[in-house]
């Protein structure tokens, strides 16, 4: 053993050639890219299947599936109102209140509307609502669907000729999309109102009429349209990623937590990438 591990100095055997670290890094990078593309392809395929099933079977088994959609809207939308309201108030005071006060101090009150629309309506509202829904509901989706998958409930549905995408995924996707949209609208309203109230208490010389008039002038119809599309897209992405990680591949119970972590990371990355796309659209418009 000893003689084998320490070769004699006079040994003619060349030491093993060290692998090129650059090639190793390239190999790792290649694996990461392939894994990313594989996951992206799986997610896109799952999203397309979901859209196909939604279009084809929306009215099928309506008395079973439509109550499930309403349940998911209630679960992801209504039940998150208190938390959303709390966060909207806090961010309204922190961001809007201070921004209004600061702009007034430098005599740039006429920019309040534009700043608010850019910060709160286009970015802060949709992203905050999406992250809230991801943490409260998206994670729960992976756990409940992953557990159902691991316990064989999905096969039991298939044995009863019940399409798992139709019964389990469609209600969640529609419910979450509408919930993120509704929560964003609620969040924006509460943030703008609470922020202004904070500034008003601080005696900022900006009348309520002027404040809301500036907001109305700064908002365009594209803002409303893009807000609706963007928030529904966020909800769709979070629900699809959660359902994909929970359902699309065979899972064992001990793999559910890893699937949940993957879903959170992928949802955040997907939402941010989607946000970049919308920023480009805003800039082009």
State the residues that interact with another protein by CB under 8 A.
60-64, 144, 148, 151-153, 155-162, 167, 250
SS3 content of the chain, % helix, strand, coil (to 5): 85, 0, 15
Of 157 and 218, nearer to another protein (C-beta) is 157
Residue closer to another protein (CB basis): 33 or 60 = 60
CB nearer to another protein: give 158 or 222: 158
DSSP 206: -
Provide the minimum distance between the beta carbon of 132 and another protein in the complex, in angstroms, as a whole number. Answer: 24
User: What does the DSSP assignment read for 70-101?
Assistant: HHHHHHHTGGGHHHHHHHHHHHIIIIIIHHHH
Q: Are 102 and 204 in contact (CB under 8 A)?
A: no
At closest approach, how far in Å is the CB of 152 from another protein? 4
HSE at residue 7, side-chain half, CA atoms within 13 A, is 8
Q: Long-range contacts: 165-168, Cβ < 8 Å, 24+?
A: 165/49, 165/50, 165/53, 166/53, 166/57, 166/60, 166/61, 166/65, 167/61, 167/64, 167/65, 167/68, 168/243, 168/247
How far apart are CB 25 and another protein at their closest, in Å? 34
Nearer to another protein, 51 or 189 (CB): 51
Of residues 135 and 140, the one with the C-beta less far from another protein: 140
Nearest approach in angstroms of CB 65 to another protein is 8
Shortest Å distance, C-beta 183 to another protein: 24
């Amino acid at each position: 053993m000893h003689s084998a591990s320490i070769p004699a100095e006079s040994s003619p055997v060349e030491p093993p050639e060290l692998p090129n670290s650059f090639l190793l890094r390239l190999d790792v990078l290649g694996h990461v890219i392939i894994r990313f593309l594989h996951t992206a392809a799986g997610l896109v395929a799952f999203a397309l299947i979901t859209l196909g099933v939604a279009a084809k079977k929306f009215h099928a088994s309506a008395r079973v599936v439509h109550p499930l959609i309403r349940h998911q809207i209630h679960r992801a939308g209504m039940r998150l109102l208190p938390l959303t309201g709390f966060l909207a108030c806090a961010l309204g005071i922190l961001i809007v209140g201070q921004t209004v006060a600061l702009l007034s101090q430098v005599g740039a009150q006429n920019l309040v509307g534009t700043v608010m629309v850019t910060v709160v309506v286009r970015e802060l509202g949709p992203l905050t609502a999406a992250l809230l829904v991801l943490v409260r509901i998206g994670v729960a989706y992976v756990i409940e669907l992953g557990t159902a998958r691991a316990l064989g409930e999905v096969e039991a549905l298939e044995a009863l000729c019940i399409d798992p995408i139709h019964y389990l995924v469609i209600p969640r996707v529609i419910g979450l999309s509408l919930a993120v949209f509704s929560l964003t609208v609620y969040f924006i309203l509460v943030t703008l109102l609470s922020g202004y109230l904070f500034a008003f208490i601080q005696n900022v010389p900006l009348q309520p009429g002027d404040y809301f008039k500036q907001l109305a002038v700064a908002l365009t119809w594209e803002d409303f349209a893009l807000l609706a599309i963007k928030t529904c897209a966020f909800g769709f992405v979070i629900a699809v990623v959660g359902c994909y990680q929970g359902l699309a591949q065979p899972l064992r119970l001990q793999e559910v937590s890893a699937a949940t972590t993957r879903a959170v990371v992928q949802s955040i990355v997907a939402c941010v990438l989607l946000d970049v796309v919308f920023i480009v659209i805003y800039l082009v418009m």
